[in-house]
């Protein structure tokens, strides 16, 4: 039996966010063009990822960009939101740093699940101007106090402080090996200073062969990894596009690595 995708205030904000996203992209794009954009992104990440330059190629063309905003962004939001709602060991952060933020879905999900939603502070970091524009729409839809920083990783990542939470949602797998290794060292340094870390990646092991290395690196700092899965009744518009693209997300899932932020009470003790 599938659960409702969201309840209460998060659902209202989510629905309004996606209604505005669809209005921005269609028209001029038709439903069939949007479907083809979803299929093109799926092919890129599953079958053609070895060709490199994933992040750049994923945003080539209006159909792919629309697919990110209207399909993959809401799926990522729902996946991470439900994963974090089940992670009671994580603390309420003072600020969320959304690394490689893309459309801002991961940072918004973490803010709603862990930081009370509206009014939470978020910094979105990405090299793409289009992505940062979408992230601005996303953060505003959920009432977040957001700032944006444009730049490539890991150099654009700010120094992480005690009590902050850095979220790396579905983007570490897109980085070249050298940049990914450098990002890991920056995240480890932040965790050692008391910052929390959340890393989310697809369940498919081939996408992130480095995953075990990251889990082992964070273990001495309190890190733990798990597979998060949720069976949800998707919103009608999202479910229709899912079926049309031949993907059928009956279950949402991700591998999630979490390192609690030091110096903060857990959500349970704060009544979240």
List, for residues 191-209, the tens digit of each pLDDT value: 999 999 999 999 998 889 9
Contact 65, 59 (CB under 8 A): yes
CATH number at residue 166: 3.40.50.150
Residue 269 lies in a domain: no
- Per-residue pLDDT tens digits for 31-45: 999 999 999 988 887
Three-state DSSP class for 217? Answer: helix
Task: Name the residue with higher pLDDT: 54 or 226.
Answer: 226
Residue 147 lies in a domain: yes
The number of CA neighbours under 13 Å toward the Cβ of 69 is 29
Three-state DSSP class for 272? Answer: coil
The pLDDT of residue 48: 59
Query: What is this structure's pTM?
Result: 0.92
Residue 267 lies in a domain: no
Residue 80 lies in a domain: yes
The pLDDT of residue 181: 97
**Model confidence at 89, in pLDDT bands (50, 70, 90)?**
low
Residue 271 lies in a domain: no
Contact 195, 164 (CB under 8 A): yes
The pair of three-digit structure tokens given for residue 34, joined into one six-digit string = 């949007």
Mean pLDDT to the nearest integer, 101-120: 94
Residue 123 lies in a domain: yes
The pair of three-digit structure tokens given for residue 223, joined into one six-digit string = 């890190």
The pair of three-digit structure tokens given for residue 246, joined into one six-digit string = 């031949």
Domain range for residue 99?
A: 3-259
The pLDDT of residue 44: 83
The number of distinct structural domains making up the chain is 1
- Per-residue pLDDT tens digits for 176-190: 999 999 999 999 999
Residue 33 lies in a domain: yes
Residue 264 lies in a domain: no
- Per-residue pLDDT tens digits for 214-268: 999 999 999 999 999 999 999 999 999 999 999 989 899 999 999 987 654 444 3
């Amino acid at each position: 039996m599938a659960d409702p995708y969201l309840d209460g205030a998060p659902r209202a904000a989510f629905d309004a966010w996606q209604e505005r996203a669809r209005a921005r992209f269609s028209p001029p794009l038709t439903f069939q063009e949007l479907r083809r954009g979803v299929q093109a992104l799926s092919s890129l990440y599953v079958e053609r990822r070895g060709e490199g330059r994933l992040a750049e190629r994923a945003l080539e063309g209006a159909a792919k960009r629309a697919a990110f905003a209207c399909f993959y962004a809401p799926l990522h939001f729902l996946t991470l939101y439900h994963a974090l709602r089940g992670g009671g060991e994580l603390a309420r952060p003072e600020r969320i740093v959304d690394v490689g933020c893309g459309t801002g879905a991961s940072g918004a999900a973490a803010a709603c699940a862990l930081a009370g939603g509206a009014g939470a502070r978020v910094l979105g970091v990405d090299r793409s101007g289009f992505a940062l524009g979408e992230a601005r729409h996303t953060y505003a839809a959920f009432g977040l106090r957001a700032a944006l920083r444009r730049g490539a990783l890991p150099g654009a990542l700010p120094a992480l402080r005690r009590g902050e939470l850095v979220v790396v949602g579905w983007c570490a797998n897109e980085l070249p090996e050298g940049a990914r290794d450098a990002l890991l060292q920056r995240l480890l340094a932040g965790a050692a200073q008391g910052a929390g870390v959340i890393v989310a990646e697809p369940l498919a092991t081939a996408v992130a062969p480095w995953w075990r290395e990251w889990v082992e690196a964070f273990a001495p700092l309190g890190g733990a990894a798990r597979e998060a899965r949720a069976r949800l009744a998707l919103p009608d518009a999202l479910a229709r596009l899912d079926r049309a693209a031949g993907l059928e997300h009956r279950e949402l899932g991700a591998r999630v690595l979490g390192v609690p932020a030091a110096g903060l009470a857990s959500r349970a003790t704060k009544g979240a």
